[in-house]
Structure 1
Amino acid sequence: MNRTLADWLSHIERIHPKSIDMGLDRIREVAQRMRLGRPGRRVITVGGTNGKGSTVAFIEAMARAAGWTVGAYTSPHLLAYNERIRIDGRDAADADIVAAFEAIEAARGETALTYFEYGTLAALWSFERAGLDLAILEVGLGGRLDATNLVDADVAVITTVDLDHQDYLGHDRESIGFEKAGIARAWKPLVLGDDDPPSSVLRHAYVIGASAVRAGCDFFFAPTPPEPGQPPQWRWREVGFGVDLPMPALAAPVQMRNAAVAIAALRALGKAPNRQQLAEGVAAARVPGRLQRFERDGVEIVVDVGHNPQAARELAAWLTAQPAAGRTQAVFAALADKDAPGVVAALAERIDAWHLAGLGDAGARGQSAQALVERLRGSAAGTGTAHADVDAALAAARTDARPGDRILVLGSFHTAAAALAWLGAH
C-alpha cells in the first residue's frame, strides 16, 4: 500500500503508546540498522528553554549567505509537517519525507519509535543524502536524552535555561541545566546564551573538557549609538574580531541575543561567514510565529508561540518598548502542563482584556477553556472571557477591537498555528 504523508503521520502517531518517551536506545538501534552516517560535514545542535527556533534560523541564514549547503531540523511545526525539515531554505517535499519514513519502517522491525524519533531519523536520513556543509539540529526536549543527541555535534548551543517541562527535566534551573548540557561533547565548543548560566552547565562542561563560550564573557553585543539619518545597528565582538550589523527583522528585543549566539556558534566552528555574510544573514532570518505581525482594518494582530514565563517576560518587554496606540487584548490558550498563571503574571500589566481559549485538538495535553479559566482564577486573566477555541477567541477580540488597538495571540505552538490559519497566513 502506498501511503501519503498524511497516512504516515497518522500511522506513526499510533504505533507508540507514549508521545514522549525519552532515551536514546531505541533510536540508536534503528539508526544503526539504517547505517546512518554524519548528517553534514559540520553539525551544530541547538538546545535551550526559549529561542531555539530563532537561533537556528539565524545560523541557517548566515551560513546560506556564505554559500554553504545547509539543512535545518526544527520542531514543532506550525502549519505543515514539512516545515520541520529544510534543505537550502526549502521545506522538504511530501515525497521525500515519505521515502525517509519508508526507510525507517523497513529498518525498525519491532522497535517502537515516537513521533519525534521518526521525524529525527527522517531528517538525518534526508540530510546525509543531501551532502550538507552544515546540519543544524534543534533539540526537542531537554538534551541529554533527546533524539537529536544521537549525533555528536561539532558545536553545541544552549540559548537559555529556565523552568519548563519540569515533569521531565526537573523542578529547578540546576536540574534542567544538567539535562540541557548533555548535548555538549568533550573538547568541543559549548556556546551559552545566558549571561548567568546554571552552575550545573558549567560544571558539566568542565568535567568533559568542553570549551564554554559565554555571552557577556567571551563574546559581547549591544546597540551602537544612533547616527542621524541611518538605520539602527548593533555590534557583535569578541577578542580580535568585531562586526556592525543591521537590526534583526525578527522583532523582539531578545532576537539580538539570539543572533549574537548564532554568530558565536558559527565562529566556534573555526571557519565562519565573513562580516558581509553575517550581516546579510541577520537581516534575512525569518521565523513564523515569533511576534509575527498582521494588520486588519487598523487593528494590529501579533502572533507568538511563547508558552512559558520566561518567554512571557520577553513579550512584556516588547509590549513596553512598542506600545499600542489603543488597548491591548490577549488571546491566550495553553497546554495543560504549562505554567499558565506564570505567563499571565508576566504580562498582566501590559494587557487590558483577556480572551481565554480551549485547545481541544492538542491531544492529551490539551485543555478546555473552562479548565484554563479555573487554573487562572484569582489572576489578572481570571475575569477574562472563555471561548471554545482560538478561532472563537480571535473573532471576539477582533469584534471588540477598534483601530489603533492590538491583539496579542500566545500560549503554545497550537495557539499560534490556529491563529495563523484564521488569519489566512501561509
Structure 2
Amino acid sequence: MRTLAEWLSYQERTHPREIELGLDRVRAVWEAMGAPRPAPIVITVGGTNGKGSTVAFIEGMLRAADYRVGCYTSPHLLRYNERVRIEGEDASDEALVASFERIETARGAIPQTYFEFGTLAAIDLMSRAGLDVAVIEVGLGGRLDAVNIIDADVAVITTIDLDHQDWLGGDRDSIGREKAGIARAGRPAIVGEHRPPAGLMDALGGIGADVVASGSAFWATDVPGAGDWRWSHSDGTVFDLPRPRLDAPVQIDNAASAIAALHALGPRVDVSADAIRRALAGVRVPGRLQRIAEHPLTLVDVGHNPQAARALAAWLDSTPRRGKLRAVYGALADKDVGGVIEALVDRVDHWYLAGLERDTPRGLPSAALAATLAAVRPTADGQSFEDVTSAWQAARAEAGDDDVLLLFGSFFVAAAALSHRT
C-alpha cells in the first residue's frame, strides 16, 4: 500500500515527460476500467483564463438548486485533494489512493502522465458518487487534453489568449482551434470570449456544435444606477442579479457563461434565479484576487499570462487606493513575462521579483525576471529575491497601512502566500 504522497511521487516518475498531449493512452486505460461516465450530465470548461471561476459558479448554482455535483480542476494550490471535489468536499487521501490502485491495475504497461492519472481518478471517483452533474476543467488546450475522452453535454470556452504557445500554437486562431476540440456535434458550445478568434468559431462550425456566444445569444449588461447586472438570452429569458462576491469585473463574464451553460441544458436541469443569486453571493475561489490581510491590504492572484494581467490592471484601475502598489511576482519559464509586466508596469510602484527555480524545474530565477523588467521599463523600481517568502517579507517590511500588496503570477506564488499567511 502507498500513501497519497508516495502515489504522487510514483506518478511523477512513471512517465518520462511532464506533459504529453494525446488521448490514445488515457482512453485505453479508461476503457479498461469500464469507460465510466462521471455523471449523467457532464459540463466541460476550457479556455485561457476564467476556467476555475466558471467551474465554481456552475457548481455553486447547481448545488444551490439541490443537485449533486462533482468537480475536477487543476492545478491545486495547497493539497492535491483539491483537484477532485464531490458535493463541496475535497476527495480524501483514502479515496484517491483506492482509485490510483484501480488505475494501476487497469493500465498494465500503458504509461500515464501525472495529469492522466489524476483525470482518470476524478472520473472514477465521480462515477461512484451518484452525482447528477460533473463539471470538468480542461488542463491544457482541449482537443488533446485527457479530459476530452468524455463527451460533454455542454462545452464552455471562456476566453482565448496567448498561453502555452509551445503546445497550442503561436496565435489566437491556432489556440482557439485547439480549445474548440472539447465541443461535440449537435451539443451546445458556450463561447464567453467577447471577440472570439476566427479559428475558434471556424473549428466549432466544423465540429457541428450548437454555438451559444456572448454578445449574440446571451448578454451580461449593467443595470444603470443599481450597481447590479442583468443576464439575458435571445430566447427572452432575463435575470436581474447581484454582482458576484468574487472580485474583478471579469467575474461577471465568467458568471454569465456559467448561466448560459445551465440554460443550454434546458429541461434537464432546473436552476432558479434565486439559486443563481445565492451562488453569486457565496462562491469563492482561492487565489482569485483573494484578500488574505487588510492592513496593508494583501491580495493573492494566480494571473500568469498577459490577458490575466490586463484583467488585474482593470481591477486596479477601478479600485481606489491611497498608498503604493507593491507587487510580489514569480513566473514559470514558458510564460510571457514581458507581456505580463507590460500590462501592469504603469500601476506597480515597486516590484519584488521572486525566483521559483526551487519550487519547480520550470521556475524562472529572479535574475531573469529582473532582466525582463529592465527591458520593459528601465526606470522601474524593483528588487530580486531567491523565493516568494523572502520577497513577501521585504514587501511587508516596507509597506505602509495604506499600501496594497499584490502577490501574483504562478500558482506557486499563490501557494506560498496562502501557506505562510499570518
TM-score, scaled to structure 1: 0.96
Q: Which letter does structure 1 place at the counterpart of 2:77?
A: L
Deviations 1:69-112 (A, max 9, x none): 00000000000000000001111111001111111111111111
Shift of 1:175: 0.3
Q: Secondary structure at the match of 2:310?
A: helix
Q: Does 1:40 align with 2:36?
A: no
Indicate the residue corresponding to 1:149 in structure 2: 148
Q: Does 1:233 align with 2:228?
A: yes
Please give the alpha-carbon distance, in whole angstroms, between the structure 2 residues aligned to 1:361 and 1:116. Answer: 21
CA contact (8 A) 1:333 1:356 kept: yes
Matches within 5 A, 1:40-119: 40-119=39-118
- Which of these residues, 318, 333, 336, is aligned with residue 336 of structure 1? 333
Please give the alpha-carbon distance, in whole angstroms, between the structure 1 residues aligned to 2:2 and 2:54. Answer: 34
Shift of 1:368: 1.4
Q: Does 1:183 align with 2:178?
A: no
Q: Does 1:242 align with 2:241?
A: no
Please give the alpha-carbon distance, in whole angstroms, between the structure 2 residues aligned to 1:250 and 1:96. Answer: 30
Q: Which letter does structure 1 place at the counterpart of 2:178?
A: E
Q: Does 1:294 align with 2:289?
A: no
Please give the alpha-carbon distance, in whole angstroms, between the structure 1 residues aligned to 2:362 and 2:175. Answer: 21
Task: Name stretches of at least 5 consecutive residues in structure 1 with no aligned partner.
Answer: none
Please give the alpha-carbon distance, in whole angstroms, between the structure 1 residues aligned to 2:289 and 2:331. Answer: 17
Task: Name stretches of at least 5 consecutive residues in structure 2 with no aligned partner.
Answer: none
Q: Secondary structure at the match of 1:195?
A: coil
Please give the alpha-carbon distance, in whole angstroms, between the structure 2 residues aligned to 1:256 and 1:405. Answer: 27
Please give the alpha-carbon distance, in whole angstroms, between the structure 1 residues aligned to 2:392 and 2:192. Answer: 34
Please give the alpha-carbon distance, in whole angstroms, between the structure 2 residues aligned to 1:384 and 1:294. Answer: 23
Shift of 1:209: 1.6
Q: Which letter does structure 2 place at the counterpart of 1:375?
A: T
CA contact (8 A) 2:47 2:179 kept: yes
Deviations 1:42-91 (A, max 9, x none): 00000000000000000000000010000000000000000000001111
Shift of 1:361: 3.3
CA contact (8 A) 1:359 1:390 kept: yes
Q: Does 1:347 align with 2:334?
A: no
Q: Does 1:357 align with 2:328?
A: no
CA contact (8 A) 1:187 1:210 kept: yes
> How many residues matched?
418
- Pick which of 268-277 and 7-16 moved more: 268-277
Please give the alpha-carbon distance, in whole angstroms, between the structure 2 residues aligned to 1:69 and 1:27. Answer: 26
Q: Does 1:409 align with 2:407?
A: yes
Shift of 1:383: 4.7
Q: Which letter does structure 1 place at the counterpart of 2:120?
A: L
- Pick which of 180-189 and 207-216 moved more: 207-216
- Which of these residues, 315, 319, 322, is aligned with residue 322 of structure 1? 319
Q: Secondary structure at the match of 1:259?
A: helix
Identity over aligned pairs, percent: 55
Q: Secondary structure at the match of 2:128?
A: helix
Q: CA RMSD in A?
A: 1.1
- Pick which of 110-119 and 198-207 moved more: 198-207
Indicate the residue corresponding to 1:254 in structure 2: 250
Please give the alpha-carbon distance, in whole angstroms, between the structure 1 residues aligned to 2:324 and 2:381. Answer: 17
- Pick which of 114-123 and 192-201 moved more: 192-201
Q: Which letter does structure 2 place at the counterpart of 1:218?
A: A
Indicate the residue corresponding to 2:377 in structure 1: 380
Shift of 1:218: 0.4
Q: Which letter does structure 2 place at the counterpart of 1:390?
A: V
CA contact (8 A) 1:377 1:383 kept: no
Q: Secondary structure at the match of 1:376?
A: helix
Please give the alpha-carbon distance, in whole angstroms, between the structure 2 residues aligned to 1:383 and 1:220. Answer: 41
TM-score, scaled to structure 2: 0.97
Please give the alpha-carbon distance, in whole angstroms, between the structure 2 residues aligned to 1:421 and 1:177. Answer: 35
Shift of 1:377: 2.8
Please give the alpha-carbon distance, in whole angstroms, between the structure 2 residues aligned to 1:362 and 1:178. Answer: 32
